[in-house]
Structure 1
Amino acid sequence: MKKIIYTMLLGLIATNSWAGEQTWCVFDPVGTQGDISRRLQDIRLYAQQSQVQLKFKTFNNESEAIQTFDQGKCSGLVASNFNTYRYNRFMGSTGGIGLISNNRVARMLLQLFNHPNVERRMVGQDYEVLGMIPIGTAYMMMNTQQISKVSQLKNKRIGILENNPPQQALVQSVSAQPVYVDFSNAVDLFKQKKIDILAAPAYGVLPYNMKKEFGASTQVVNFPVAYFAINIVIRPQSYPTGFGHHIRSWFVKNSNVLAAQAMQWENHLPAYYWADISSFEKQGYEALVAKIRNRYVDSGYYDAYFVDLIRRLRCLDDPQYLECRK
């Protein structure tokens, strides 16, 4: 009889190890009416199939969202791939320099989220990544004279994230001056001309009249620097078994829609803002980026499996890329 009661108690503990209602700390710079928050409403409905009711606590400041999550006030975090690196190195590497080169490659990655070799790298003991909302490729936005050569970056003030050694190394390699920014002040610093160059996705600048607010010489170099996305991280012990796999299947099913939205944002940026560089300069810059990136693969900063996977996906998309040529 005691054994039966003990078994029943264990079953109750296992059943009640998670609560049906869970709160996610969400970073959305444009608030609850933004595209990120709207996409999360779709995920909220899908989560109900696992008897999980999601609530969202939205922050305009990313550091506040992360701090609240770290304090245990939320069981989930929705924040940039750059600043969720600390929770999962595999998915944190999605923001690596010279890795995801465009939205097509991002879409192919989303389609693999239920593949065993990929999925197991998204799951850790303390944290688990449910998925990635693509925002788009980060391009160099300039309020200085047009730059057509890498050598012209010398002494330019370039905005970078503070806790991102590869970005720091890349800026130093072209003899430019790194200026630390975060997502709450980067655009303001650019508008105030305290930095000359800011890497940003089209989504981040679409709300602005760039010529009027940033200056008549503002241009965007049509060369990918990194990829910006929003990662969803949870503490898996707060959720039912299989919840992560269930939500990742939503990302697989919606990979085309998610990537198409990011493409649409980029296509909305007027053509006169774009500045092209020569194929010769582009190849030289790609080689420089690859060299620095590989240094951080060797050091363990970037996840080696992720880098190899993205290289293969990128070669499918662009066989002429320098690391794809035989």
Structure 2
Amino acid sequence: MKKLMKAALAACALATSVTAQAAPTKICVFDIVGNVGPMMGAMKDWQTEALGWGLEAELIPYTNEAIAAEDLKAGVCQAALVTGIRGRGFNKYAGTVDSIGAIPTMDHLRIVLQVLSNPQVAPKLTHGSYQVMGIAPAGAAYVFVDDKEVNTLAKAAGKRVAVLEYDETQAKLVSQVGATPVASDITNFSTKFNNGVVDVIAAPLAVYEALELYKGLSPDGGIINYPLVQLTIQLIGKKDAFSAEVAQKSREYFYSNLDRIVAQLKKEEEKVDPKWWVEIPDADKAKYEVLMQEARNLLRVEGYYDPDMLDMLRKVRCKLNQSRAECT
């Protein structure tokens, strides 16, 4: 009887252990729309693919990015999908992809993401307790103004500009042009613009309809036709929760789906009414390019941007346009 009891207890212990090991890995997914949003939709496809890597994942939607990031730190989830700007706090190298003016077009970003999906770059994507398991485009950010006459930096002086409170670089840049930074978050920056609390925001075109930005643009606003930064979404995982092999497969999966993501972004961007576009002279664009380069250099020295990533981004810019002044 004692032997039978011991065998039964051992079987129960084994069953409990197997159950614990089989518990799905929790992934916090930031999607401003929630469970039916595009980020959750993309991650559901990733979830299906991950089964082939031996990874069973449970997706938990978050409409508040800050909470998703904090829950990752607290161990509530083993990975979190957040913006590249937020991800800079976990990995400066990958987070510097979202640096001001460093990636002019999607063609540039495509090359960057191809490089970052290469296994040889994996060590750069691991820092401390975390590793970057995938990077995807979120669209270029443009300046939205409530008055289309504000089409130069000089005219931006004195204007109230929404800046992300957790990204010190934005407040620095806004202050440099004489505007007033107003601390905001992804969950409320659009509401502040739509309600007239701020005069200027920077946002990707893909959120134009979802965040009803046409309300803030009406009646006399506009969108400056000059992209400031190519934004990204990044999957940040705990280093001890995912094997190096799974992390690499995930990065390669993200890159292999790049065309599909770009197509989805274009579909959303086409919803922007053409009447809002504000063209600026090429001479002004050249000035902005110099100002943004100076800003990147300053933020590199101050430790906000990763020098190795900035150097790589410069090489990509020169690869596609050797006539740039910085390429000589």
Q: Same fold (TM over 0.5)?
A: yes
Identify which of 194, 198, 201 aligns with 1:198: 201
- 2:240 partner SS: helix
Query: Which structure 2 residue ranges, 5 or more long, are not aligned?
Result: 1-17
Q: Which amino acid aligns with 1:147?
A: V
> Which aligned pairs between 1:279-290 and structure 2 lie closer than 5 A?
279-290=282-293
Q: CA deviation at 1:98?
A: 1.5
Q: Deviations over 1:47-88 (max 9, x none)?
A: 111110111111111112122222111000111111111111
Q: CA deviation at 1:169?
A: 1.9
Identify which of 96, 101, 104 aligns with 1:98: 101
1:248 aligns with 2:268: no
Q: CA deviation at 1:103?
A: 2.1
Q: CA deviation at 1:158?
A: 0.9
> Which aligned pairs between 1:163-312 and structure 2 lie closer than 5 A?
163-207=166-210, 210-212=213-215, 214-312=217-315
Q: Which amino acid aligns with 1:306?
A: M
Structure number with greater Rg is 2
1:23 aligns with 2:26: yes
Percent identity of equivalent pairs: 25
- 1:32 partner SS: coil
Are the structure 2 counterparts of residues 322 and 173 from structure 1 closer, same or farther at C-alpha, using a change threshold of 3 Å? farther
Name the structure 1 match of 2:129: 126
1:73 aligns with 2:71: no
Any conservation in 1 of the 2:225–2:279 contact (CA below 8 Å)?
yes
Any conservation in 2 of the 1:111–1:255 contact (CA below 8 Å)?
no
- 2:127 partner SS: coil
Any conservation in 2 of the 1:110–1:251 contact (CA below 8 Å)?
no
Any conservation in 2 of the 1:150–1:281 contact (CA below 8 Å)?
no
Any conservation in 1 of the 2:146–2:221 contact (CA below 8 Å)?
yes
Counterpart Cα distance in 1 of 2:276 and 2:133 = 35
Q: CA deviation at 1:263?
A: 3.6
Identify which of 141, 144, 163 aligns with 1:141: 144
* TM-score, length basis structure 1: 0.88
Q: CA deviation at 1:100?
A: 2.2
- 2:115 partner SS: coil
Q: Which amino acid aligns with 2:271?
A: H
Name the structure 1 match of 2:15: none
Counterpart Cα distance in 2 of 1:161 and 1:301 = 15
Any conservation in 2 of the 1:100–1:227 contact (CA below 8 Å)?
yes
Identify which of 24, 28, 40 aligns with 1:37: 40
- 1:111 partner SS: helix
Name the structure 2 match of 1:4: none
Query: Which structure 1 residue ranges, 5 or more long, are not aligned?
Result: 1-14
* TM-score, length basis structure 2: 0.88
Q: Deviations over 1:131-188 (max 9, x none)?
A: 1121101110001242232211111111111132221221111111111110111011
Q: CA deviation at 1:110?
A: 1.8
Counterpart Cα distance in 2 of 1:195 and 1:201 = 17
Q: How many residues align?
A: 311
- 1:277 partner SS: coil
Counterpart Cα distance in 2 of 1:319 and 1:263 = 28
Are the structure 2 counterparts of residues 129 and 212 from structure 1 closer, same or farther at C-alpha, using a change threshold of 3 Å? closer
Name the structure 2 match of 1:150: 153
Q: CA RMSD in A?
A: 2.2
Counterpart Cα distance in 1 of 2:23 and 2:111 = 32
Q: CA deviation at 1:292?
A: 1.3
